[in-house]
Amino acid sequence: MTLDQIYYFIEIAKTGSMSQAANVLHVSQPNISMTIKSLENEVGYALFNRIPRGVELTRQGAEFLYYAESIVKNVQEIQAIREPDREHLTTFAISAQYVSVAIYPLEDMYHLFGNQAKTFTIRQNNFSDVVDDVASGYSDLGLINISVHQTDFINALLERKGVTFTPIDRREMALAVSSSHPLCDAPSVKWSDFYAYPLAIVEYSDKAYFSVQDVKHLSFDSFKSKFYVQDMLFLYHLMTSLNAVTFLSIGKHHDLDNLLKKYQMRIKVYTMDDPVVLTFGYIRQASKPLDYMEQYFINALKKHLG
């Protein structure tokens, strides 16, 4: 496998067309087709499905793209070592199940480094992808929630991947609706009253960190209609237009609630008498110590949560 093959593959995935990729890369289409065919023979599976309008990634191709982009990123980092102002370049990447919790610490870091050139990357992913981002070095730190019932299982999983978890805060799952929801004015509300309304779930909050009893306790399946979304603005739109309900993990510092209020988006939170308890914290590669930027971010995160 060569870097040229990887570069060709990424460009085709980006354009969805071998001919367009050939034009961008200034190579002939037969050449790029042969290169991809050779790569597919080498890995042992198809990377693209040929369709009338071009090509599309196969399931294996989409997974290959994830690792291919990591390889290119690492190559670029290696090449940048020789740059004379390398020491003045700031780069930092975070993966999180909910990016809202990282906003204020990243603002602190931005001001800390003043006029230095800086690139901050924040990725919102599901639990498994956050772990893989950190394990592969794609992100410096990951922010995750772990059910207290899953602690031993998750820690064993992280250890196998060379990742370590450090707890910061205790969270509880709660139900949230917009402040305009019909039940907000009700004198008393039972948990089952919300089942008549659609449930909106952020797709990044997959069930990997919940135990079986947690999922049962939250009664996901009692809601007749469900929306799985990836965009927080669309989530809030569903909460206001369809009176959808959602689940949030809340702690001493309810970061999402405060963030929504900042932009005049108001919600009401209903806590559980017997809540599902989560531990919130950060993950990092176990084999390397925290550098200055990582330690600064963690301290800033603790400050804003405290």
How does pLDDT run across 259-272, given as a tens digit for each residue? 566 656 678 888 88
Tell me the pLDDT tens digit for each residue of 22-80: 888 788 888 888 888 888 898 898 888 888 888 888 888 888 888 888 888 787 777 66
Q: Which CATH class is domain 86-162+282-305?
A: alpha beta
Look at residue 88 in the predicted model and tell me its pLDDT. 52
Look at residue 199 in the predicted model and tell me its pLDDT. 93
Distance, in Å, from the CA atom of 93 to the CA atom of 139, rounded to the nearest integer, reads 5
Distance, in Å, from the CA atom of 2 to the CA atom of 139, rounded to the nearest integer, reads 24
The CATH code for residues 3-80 is: 1.10.10.10
Q: Work out the number of other CB atoms within 10 angstroms of the CB of residue 132.
A: 20
What Rg do the C-alpha atoms of the chain give, in angstroms? 23
Q: Of the ranges 157-166, 201-210, 219-228, which one carries the lowest mean pLDDT score? A: 201-210
Distance, in Å, from the CA atom of 136 to the CA atom of 63, rounded to the nearest integer, reads 14
Per DSSP, the three-state class of 143 is: strand
Tell me the pLDDT tens digit for each residue of 273-288: 888 888 899 999 998 8
Look at residue 82 in the predicted model and tell me its pLDDT. 61
The answer to whether the 3-80 and 169-279 domains have the same CATH topology is no
Q: Which CATH class is domain 169-279?
A: alpha beta
Domain ranges of the chain: 3-80, 86-162+282-305, 169-279
Distance, in Å, from the CA atom of 111 to the CA atom of 108, rounded to the nearest integer, reads 5
Q: How many residues does the chain have?
A: 306
Distance, in Å, from the CA atom of 75 to the CA atom of 183, rounded to the nearest integer, reads 55
Is the pLDDT reported for residue 203 higher than 80?
no
Percent helix, strand and coil across the chain, each to the nearest 5: 50, 25, 25
Tell me the pLDDT tens digit for each residue of 242-262: 999 988 877 755 555 555 666
Distance, in Å, from the CA atom of 269 to the CA atom of 277, rounded to the nearest integer, reads 16
Closest to 43 (Cα-Cα) out of 27, 65, 21: 65
Average pLDDT, the chain: 83
Look up residue 45 and give its two tokens. Answer: 């599976």
Write the Ramachandran bin of 199: left for phi over 0, alpha for psi from -120 to 50, otherwise beta. beta
